[in-house]
A and B are shown apart, each in its own frame.
Chain A
Amino acid sequence: MLGGAVVRGHVAAIKWQYFDAATIEGYIVTRTPEDRNRWTVMGTVVLTNAFNLAAGTRAGALVFHAPHQGGVWRWPIVRYALKDGALRADLGPLLD
């Protein structure tokens, strides 16, 4: 289980179920001080699949995937903004 309040990494992804919606590089996930179940992420968007991003958004089923040694940390995306190649998203509680 994730112990710290900040996760930094090089490569992550936004997925709609198993479909890739976006590839993210150089990200930082931070736990909200007021609520241990809320997190935010910022990173650079290097690739998007517009169809899967839109379909996953409509379905409310986008998930942020951050691979680590021995597995993947996953957070549901509550809301997000992509602007000028930058991602900023509010995340729900860590899954699994």
Chain B
Amino acid sequence: MSRCRFVQPRVVRLALSEGDWIDVRAELTAGEERDMYAALRKSLNGTTATVADFSLLNRGRLVAYLLAWSLTDADGTPVPVSEGALDQLTGHDFADMTAVLDAHIEALREARETEKNSRDGATVSAPISPSVAP
């Protein structure tokens, strides 16, 4: 059976400190990744020209991957995931969340590389014609 090249909607739970967690997409589709990078673009000095603002990359990644979390407000009420809520996190907690997500993305990249190498290694090379002696 050939390999499925479409992203399956798999959710991965990543642990944060103090027992909290985030649920993230196991991987992004091509469309989701394109939207993530498109969201980094901002107007250049009020003109129609746009430029990528890489200071938004970590936030953009979290927005793209994040599905749910265990976070609550000061009264212990669950807080739904939203871009507004992300911006209200402490800088320290935002950095923690980013680090956990980055580790997941890196593990995914490594798994892809391993899978690709094992796939490539399993292919049979075409026969090579023997060299002609000079």
Interface hit among A14-22, A32-40, A77-85 = A14-22
We find that the number of chain B residues with CB closer than 8 angstroms to chain A is: 6
Collect the chain A residues with CB atoms within 8 Å of residue B25's CB. 18
Q: Using a CB-CB cutoff of 8 Å, which residues 12-58 of chain A contact chain B?
A: 16-19, 51, 55
Identify which of B6, B9, B10, B11 gathers the most chain A CB atoms within 10 Å of its CB.
B9
Q: Do A55 and B67 contact each other (CB < 8 Å), given the known contacts A17-B11, A18-B11, A18-B25?
A: no
Q: Using a CB-CB cutoff of 8 Å, which residues 82-105 of chain B contact chain A?
A: none
Query: Closest CB-CB distance, A29 to chain B, in whole Å?
Result: 22
Collect the chain B residues with CB atoms within 8 Å of residue A18's CB. 9, 11, 25, 67
CA distance A68 to B10 in the complex (A): 25
Q: Using a CB-CB cutoff of 8 Å, which residues 63-78 of chain B contact chain A?
A: 67
Query: Closest CB-CB distance, A74 to chain B, in whole Å?
Result: 13
B43-79 interface mask toward A, CB cutoff 8 Å, 1 = contact, 0 = none? 0000000000000000000000001000000000000
A–B pairs, 11, beta carbons within 8 Å: A16-B9, A17-B9, A17-B10, A17-B11, A18-B9, A18-B11, A18-B25, A18-B67, A19-B9, A51-B6, A55-B6
**Chain A: residues with CB nearer than 8 A to chain B?**
16-19, 51, 55
